[in-house]
Chain A
Amino acid sequence: MAGQSPNGIRRQAELLAKENREADPGIDKVFWFPDTNEVRLVETSLEVPRADDGLVHPFYFAPAPQDQLPAPSAIALIRPEEVRQARLPEGWGDWPDAVELVK
């Protein structure tokens, strides 16, 4: 979404990481891939199966300003052993670009 500040995107990433962890205690690590328009998160959980194709498949959510989520978000759930192994979506950069959002 145009008009989102880098700080705004980061704030939304942190808010989503916090809310996701609270709702699903099975989520362990949360990796944020900075982008100017979209919140991009990869979260790990032992409750999901390994991807058949070795790719990270995010689900894309529209902005929800009424819920303090003014930017669109893309969120993927992978197994811990897929971190730094699974291929990221095009345009997300590489694993070293990830910022881990700690609890």
Chain B
Amino acid sequence: MIMTWREAFWRQARSDHRVLMHLGASGFEACHRLHFYQMATEKLAKAWLTSPAAVEPPPHVHKGFVRMLQIIKSQPGVRRRLGYSNAAVFARSINALLDLATNVERLAPALAAGSRPNPEYPWRDAQSGELCVPAEFHFPAFDPRNPQMAKLDKLVLALLTNFA
């Protein structure tokens, strides 16, 4: 069977996610886990942005993850597959994660523009004027022990596991 663009993006998103799980347990600097987190979520969104019949790759956008969450929060098929019977409860659970997801989306170096924390390239802090190195930055907002981050982690894993 010929692989579709959609399937290819699902597979790569899952692989990125496996790497981030490995990195999370390895003791490497937080930036490396976040790099794969941003990439996995971007590809997850692109998989859903791609028609199963598409003969072209998905659009070249970095801002798909939040839009994806804004759409799936009201989709009954997605909600039920994730085990939620109540539409309002499911929508609220997603809404509560949108700010954090927006920050994940902004980790893409193309959106950080050299002036905001990102997991790949050094940047100059806008307030202090000092150069910052991703490997030496702790990214406290994305600590996996943060309850919101743990919920987002769980949702991303469920989406990668339950859909294709």
Contacts and interface: CB of A to CB of B under 8 A. Distances in A.
Interface of A: 16, 19-24, 27, 45, 47-49, 52-53, 55, 57-62, 64, 66-67, 69, 72, 74-77
Interface string B59-89: 1010110011011111111111100000110
3 shortest interchain CB distances as A-B pairs:
A64-B77, A23-B74, A23-B87
Given A23-B87, A24-B91, A48-B70, A74 B51 contact: yes
A75 B59 contact: no
A20 B74 contact: yes
Q: From DSSP, what is the main secondary structure of chain B's interface residues?
A: helix
Interface of B: 6, 48-52, 59, 61, 63-64, 67-68, 70-81, 87-88, 90-91, 163-164
B97 to A, nearest CB: 14
Given A23-B87, A23-B91, A57-B61, A75 B67 contact: no
Contacts of B76: 16, 19, 23, 64, 67, 69
Contacts of A16: 75-76
A66 B70 CA distance: 23
Contacts of A21: 74
A60 B50 contact: yes
Given A23-B88, A24-B73, A48-B70, A57 B80 contact: no
